[in-house]
Amino acid sequence: MSNILIIKHGSLGDISQISGALRDIKETYKDNKIFILTTLPYVELLSKCPYLDGVLIDKRLPRWNILYLLKLKKLLDKFKFSHVYDLQNSSRTSFYRKFLLNYPVWSSTNTVLKNGKKKKDFNEESVLERFKIQLDTSNIITSYTLKPDFSWAAVNVDKIVNKYFGKNFILLFPFCSPKLSHKKWPYYNNLIKIIKSKHPKIEIAVAPGPNEIDEAKQIEAISITNNEEPLTIMELAGLIKKSSYVIANDTGPAHMAAHLNKEGIVLFGYHTTPKKVSIETDKFKAISSKNLNDITAENVYSTIKNKLDLIN
């Protein structure tokens, strides 16, 4: 029996996207122990993942912190990993490979590039296609990589739902990181007014994160918390599964919804494309514009009207 290491530091959307890759690696190494090196916000979540046998924490302290790097190396060396699958593919993990973790088999974007192909060209592929190419080249049978299933992350939230709702509800994610304000669609309240006037039987809710509680008060929708605290990632996954429809900016919860097989729509501006980030599914679609301000509430409603009609 060997120990296998996967590296994935985050973010939330990225963690949901690797569900298929994690399953493929586990299926390939059924008789081995699979560990993941991640950051503190995802330890509890990934400890629940059925495709992992252990979770190791990387504090990602500055690279000049030699004492920390030596401590991390000492920790990882204890497991005598036979294979490393770098699904983060960052400058930090490239540094780890070169200076810290000299393991015999290391799979990353750089190690699987074919002769004559540059990393910048490889990066033009969609996220999930890149994972598939990486794992295919590393002799992993990729049955699930292109179709991540994040349902393992969801916990039962009936108690929370029953507290707030007596009927069907749709879930909005109008928030985003302050550093990524260009991803924020500005017309959620306009859309809410239209939906409430056309579909009075549908409840509308938001689920704010730790730094979004005050902002949620500006949205004319029910704000879901658990005992006045933001939902955990697992509770959020459960809430998404319970919802009838999801409308979101291009953020982590949108990727969660897509890979929880929910019906919904995500709004994209100039920052990237839905194809590049592998967010669209049979049920979860995107509306794109170079300028998010050009996507009106009426545009969005006309696109989702038929879906909302089925909820009533």
CATH code for the domain of 267: 3.40.50.2000
Q: Last residue of a domain, which of 145, 171, 189?
A: 145
Question: 13, 144 in Cβ contact below 8 A?
Answer: no
Q: Provide the pLDDT for residue 180.
A: 77
Residues 170 and 303 in one domain: yes
Residue 49 shares a structural domain with residue 124: yes
**133 and 164 share one domain:** no
Cα separation, 82 vs 32, whole angstroms: 10
Q: Virtual CA dihedral for 107, 108, 109, 114, nearest 10 degrees?
A: -30
Domain C-terminal end among 88, 123, 145: 145
pLDDT of res. 312: 66
Look up residue 220 and give its amino acid: E
pLDDT at position 177 is 80
pLDDT, position 101:
74
Residues 226 and 173 reside in one and the same domain: yes
- DSSP letter at 303 equals H
C-alpha to C-alpha distance for 296 and 292, rounded to whole angstroms: 8
Q: Which of 145, 168, 187 finishes a domain?
A: 145
- One domain for residues 115 and 198: no
Alpha carbons 36 and 45: distance in angstroms, whole number: 12
Domain that holds residue 214: 158-311
Structure tokens at 107: 């799979």
Mean pLDDT in the chain? 92
The CA-atom distances, in angstroms, between 59 and each of 11, 12, 212 are 14, 16, 24
